[in-house]
């Protein structure tokens, strides 16, 4: 089956639907990307056009397919030890945490989980050396598809370039047989990590405050009002001296008042205000 190209009118409908459901704003230059990501899905459903698929999404009768479309349209780029400066800062923050405290970290746009397991490796290394309190890490994402990959904790060996050899030996199992070319995150990390589907523009579920929250390279997909809403909600579940990390190329200046920058892409609430 061949499909006609995605029209401007159809693209606007998809763009508006994605914004309504996720708060993610697609610019005019994303039309080709959207058409490509939905093409195979429309074929697999044996639909005749993008319009037929849009009608299915907006009908409200197929919430599973709506989630599938959101998954397909959500960009998810991540890798182990991305922007390593933040993990160095995380290590120093955790070292200073009070003894006996449960140190909690949330990766709020975790994609396929590499960031969460990087956090877990850093904290487990401190525990191994006697420098860290008890800890736990949580990852969340809008996409159920990437969360399933994160929970599986199975990655292609080509994804491990940023991991030091000693960490590879301690925290990963090498695959063999049908899993040749893959690595599995060790159980001692998997057991201390949780994943949940959370839409950051909706009211957050009830959460215990976090000492550190990572929201890196996610706000670039939102307009200012949505950025402000998301950051404000995250700050409401950040511990009083907690740290919020955004991407090194991102800034919260002009988004939310009352923050003080303590390092590249790292913010605390200014308690002097």
Give the active site residues: 37, 141
| Contact (CB, 8 A) for 109 and 77 | no
Please state, in angstroms and rounded to a whole number, the distance separating the CA atoms of residues 153 and 113: 7
Burial of residue 7, with CB atoms counted within 10 A of its CB: 0-12 exposed, 13-18 middle, 19 or more buried: middle
The 3-state DSSP class for residue 174 equals: strand
Burial per residue of 129-166, b for 16 or more beta-carbon CB atoms within 10 angstroms, e otherwise: eeebbebbbbbbbbbebbbebbeebebeeeebeebeee
The 3-state DSSP class for residue 266 equals: strand
């Amino acid at each position: 089956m061949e499909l006609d190209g995605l029209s401007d009118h159809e693209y606007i409908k998809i763009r508006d639907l994605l914004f309504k459901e996720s708060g993610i704003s697609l610019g005019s230059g994303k039309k080709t990307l959207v058409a490509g990501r939905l093409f195979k899905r429309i074929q697999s459903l044996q639909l005749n056009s993008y319009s037929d698929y849009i009608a299915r999404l907006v009908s409200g009768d197929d919430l599973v397919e709506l989630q599938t479309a959101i998954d397909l349209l959500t960009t998810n780029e991540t890798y182990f030890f991305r922007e390593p400066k933040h993990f160095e800062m995380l290590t120093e923050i955790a070292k200073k945490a009070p003894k006996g405290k449960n140190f909690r970290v949330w990766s709020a746009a975790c994609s396929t989980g590499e960031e969460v397991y990087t956090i877990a490796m850093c904290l487990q290394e401190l525990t191994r050396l006697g420098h860290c309190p008890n800890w736990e890490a949580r990852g969340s994402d809008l996409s159920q598809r990437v969360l399933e990959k994160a929970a599986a904790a199975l990655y292609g060996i080509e994804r491990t370039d940023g991991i030091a050899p000693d960490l590879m030996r301690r925290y990963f199992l090498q695959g063999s047989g049908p899993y040749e070319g893959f690595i599995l995150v060790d159980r001692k990390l998997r057991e201390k990590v949780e994943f949940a589907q959370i839409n950051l523009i909706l009211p957050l579920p009830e959460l215990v405050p976090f000492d550190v929250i990572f929201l890196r390279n996610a706000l670039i997909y939102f307009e200012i009002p949505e950025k402000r809403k998301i950051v404000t909600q995250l700050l409401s579940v950040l511990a009083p001296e907690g740290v919020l990390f955004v991407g090194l190329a991102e800034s919260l200046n002009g988004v939310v008042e009352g923050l003080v920058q303590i390092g590249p892409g790292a913010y605390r609430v200014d308690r002097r205000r």
